[in-house]
Structure 1
Amino acid sequence: MTATDPLLVVEDVRTVFHTARGDVRAVDGVSLTLAPGEILGLVGESGSGKSVLGRTVMGLVASGPITTVSGRVRIGGQDVHALHPRHRRRLWGPEVAMVFQDPMTSLNPVKRVGTHLTETLRRHLRCSRAEAADRAVDLLRQVGIPEPARRARQYPHELSGGMRQRVVIAAALACDPRLLIADEPTTALDVTVQQQILDLLASLVRDRTMAMILVSHDLGAVVGRTDRIQVMYAGRTVESGATRDVFGAAQHPYTDALLGSIPRLSDPPHTVLRSIEGSPPDMARPPSGCRFAPRCPRATDRCIDDLPELVLGADDRLVACHHPVHESSGAGHGR
């Protein structure tokens, strides 16, 4: 790698689960790049393929009897899926780490908090027992846990949800990874703690010059904390661009609908919240054309028949839509 090379390159990645009902294309031809120090927001409804993409990038999902993974994922120039599983595990920690959305299933309930960190440090950095213990306490301090030495001796159930999530973040950061994947890290937390955790992640990434993929179904969580946004729907990318451009003028109807569903403090009391009509498609039997067409007010017969490709438009925006929102109001509204 040179200083100008992207840290992460994902090329036409497809993750297919073979089920009794048919093949489920959870990720269907997604590409992206990420530079050191850059934060990408990966957003979309539940079931859009965000988490599966994150695990595929990590190498946690690989081809097997019930799964087929194709395309290329390169981290620091290394093809993740071409590596032997033993060599791939060596990437986890020093090169790439993940913050999972549920800390109670990420942490072993019968191990002390400190042990979750010292095991990683001793395995990857070859620290002595004493060095690992000291560094574990320091990591807990860095993520804002009070009395870190005492907390390191406690078990996960003795901590609050916000504290447990901070422990998971500390474990992910233990080996100074170059890439951090945060998979909806605030799902189970209250609003105040969500804000703290998201701000903490953003500040840690900036301080350490890491790259981060922030996976979220909430566009409000990524605004102000990400450099770029990539919107996914039914396993595919539908829009991608700089955060300020996407929030300023969404071009894909799905992105526009997501933005419209965000509650606003300026709305008067008892304002009816906007929602996106319909449901995401059955991924075992997806529509032949645009997968958002059955829910889209701008859809035409072309949308129902032809799957749109990602096209580079103004302000370096990628959009997969036959009738983007910026078109004149008279275009593309009838079926």
Structure 2
Amino acid sequence: MSDQTVLEVEDVRTEFQTARGLVRAVDGVSLSLRAGETLGIVGESGSGKSVLGRTIMGLITTGHTTQVHGSVRIAGKDVHAISAKERRRLWGSEVAMVFQDPMTSLNPVKRVGAHITEALRLHLGLDKKAAAERAIDLLRQVGIPEPARRMSQFPHELSGGMRQRVVIAMALCCDPRLLIADEPTTALDVTVQKQILDLLTSLAESRDMATILISHDLGAVAGRTDRVQVMYAGRVVERSATGEVFEGPRHPYTEGLLASIPRLSDPPHTTLRAIVGSPPNMANPPDGCRFAPRCPYVQDRCRTEQPELLEIGVRRTSHVAACHFPLPDVDTGSTGDAPPRAALAEEIS
């Protein structure tokens, strides 16, 4: 892993003016990513994960009903301060995105080869023959059999897993320094999901490419990311090394997500654990901590005062959480100001 910083996000807020009022889908998010590093962003649907990914890409068009505040710097350039033409130059060569639905990510009336060669000719200036040869090699790299034959096929002639591999080939064709994978295994069966996730991991390692893996599935980021960022209601509530988050979550929301994962060790017919309640109305979020209405450890302070994202614990790696009463550190057993609480039914390994 290189020390070169590829992505810097500072206090980003993405706002949408709706009929119900102002919705701040991303609310004050900051992060950085180095070359070769993989960051997992997890949370429930509606937590702001995908909007953050599109904001980083510069795909959120600002106007009367949409505003983006803060700074997103890729390769030293502020994505939202440059012109649309300059932004298009960044796409493909510096940053690329794998979208979540392979069934709709490809143009149904364009052949597979045309999807890839178009970007190669536009960004790299390759002629028709060179672009076709590189496209075939890319299809081979992502594990598609008979790549030359697939070039002339239409998307509907491929399976869902094959289509997602084509989307990955499109994203990687211009050797981007940053790849954003937004729920890349949606609508795929579990076997194909593992293949796609393993493929993304191996390609990122071989290319020393920074990667953001967006998922609602904690199992998808376990073992495949260096750090995990947990989002709730547009805000980051916890971030640390992946192993630390799984072994000792410090925010009650992260604890709830981990506790809801089914375990092979559970006896048959075991009732799945769930986080009570529903995410807040983002047009009218609650005062104080946005997780307070669903938190089993809530206190009066939580309902009135918004917690800051602060460094906690005594470990060597940075571990931050936005909680007035963080859960105890599993290494030290220290609870600080935390109130009494029930332990997890089982420790997540």
TM-score category of the 2 structures, normalised to the smaller one: over 0.9
How does 1:197-208 map onto structure 2 within 5 Å?
197-208=196-207
1:252 alignment counterpart: 251
TM-superposition CA deviations, 1:275-328 (whole Å, max 9, x none): 111000000000111000000000111101111000011231010001111164
Within 2, Cα distance between the matches of 1:222 and 1:24? Answer: 28
Within 1, Cα distance between the matches of 2:97 and 2:30? Answer: 19
Corresponding residue SS for 2:116 = helix
Corresponding residue SS for 1:180 = strand
Within 1, Cα distance between the matches of 2:3 and 2:145? Answer: 39
1:72 alignment counterpart: 71
Q: CA deviation at 1:104?
A: 2.1
2:225 alignment counterpart: 226
Contact 1:43 1:219 in 2 (8 A): yes
1:262 alignment counterpart: 261
Within 2, Cα distance between the matches of 1:295 and 1:333? Answer: 17
Q: CA deviation at 1:329?
A: 10
TM-superposition CA deviations, 1:159-195 (whole Å, max 9, x none): 0000000000000000000000000000110100000
Q: CA deviation at 1:105?
A: 1.7
Within 2, Cα distance between the matches of 1:135 and 1:322? Answer: 53
How does 1:24-39 map onto structure 2 within 5 Å?
24-39=23-38
How does 1:26-175 map onto structure 2 within 5 Å?
26-175=25-174
- Output the amino acid matched with 2:215: S
1:177 alignment counterpart: 176
Corresponding residue SS for 1:153 = coil
Cα pair distance change 1:267/1:330, threshold 3 Å: farther
- Output the amino acid matched with 1:332: P
Contact 2:230 2:237 in 1 (8 A): yes
- Output the amino acid matched with 2:322: A
2:190 alignment counterpart: 191
- Output the amino acid matched with 1:319: A
2:339 alignment counterpart: 332
RMSD: 1.3
Within 1, Cα distance between the matches of 2:40 and 2:243? Answer: 12
Contact 1:40 1:227 in 2 (8 A): yes
Which 4+ residue blocks in structure 1 deviate beyond 3 angstroms? Answer: 327-334
- Output the amino acid matched with 2:304: D
Corresponding residue SS for 1:101 = coil
Contact 2:252 2:326 in 1 (8 A): yes
Q: CA deviation at 1:333?
A: 6.1
Corresponding residue SS for 1:7 = strand
How does 1:294-309 map onto structure 2 within 5 Å?
294-309=293-308
- Output the amino acid matched with 1:121: L
Q: CA deviation at 1:248?
A: 0.8
- Output the amino acid matched with 1:325: L
Corresponding residue SS for 1:65 = coil
Structure 1 gaps, min length 5? none
Cα pair distance change 1:232/1:60, threshold 3 Å: same
- Output the amino acid matched with 2:297: R
- Output the amino acid matched with 2:321: V
Please identify, of 178-187 and 323-332, the stretch whose mean Cα deviation from structure 2 is larger. 323-332
Within 2, Cα distance between the matches of 1:131 and 1:104? Answer: 28
- Output the amino acid matched with 2:234: G
- Output the amino acid matched with 1:47: G
Q: CA deviation at 1:151?
A: 1.0
Contact 2:229 2:239 in 1 (8 A): yes
Within 2, Cα distance between the matches of 1:132 and 1:113? Answer: 13
Within 2, Cα distance between the matches of 1:332 and 1:21? Answer: 37
Q: CA deviation at 1:76?
A: 1.1
TM-superposition CA deviations, 1:218-253 (whole Å, max 9, x none): 000000000000000000000000001111100000
Q: CA deviation at 1:62?
A: 3.5
TM-superposition CA deviations, 1:143-164 (whole Å, max 9, x none): 0011111111100011000000
Cα pair distance change 1:67/1:190, threshold 3 Å: same
